Amino acid sequence: SISPYEQAFFKEHSAHLAELRKAGHIVMGARYSDVGLLVIQALAEDDVRALLDTDPSMQAGTFQYAVYPMNVFYPGLVGNQK
């Protein structure tokens, strides 16, 4: 298996994620096992899909995503940085 950095459209994917971060949509991003994990702030699942469907790597089929709602009951330190 090749690293994510070597996969097609990775640079475009990174640029798209940078735009989502600048716009305040991404709360957190991480690697989880061998997949990427994004926590995206949105009002509805369709809003998340609309953001991710414009990613060139998703459009090309290089990367795929699944959307899972997350209901935070204890925010911990995420979002509480000063």
pTM of the model: 0.79
Fill in the amino acid letter for 59: Q
- On the 0-12 / 13-18 / 19+ scale of CB atoms within 10 A, 6 is exposed
pLDDT truncated to tens, each residue of the chain (82 aa)?
Answer: 677 778 889 899 999 999 999 999 999 999 888 888 999 999 999 999 999 999 999 999 988 999 999 888 887 776 555 4
Contacts of 65 (CB under 8 A, 6+ apart): 52, 58
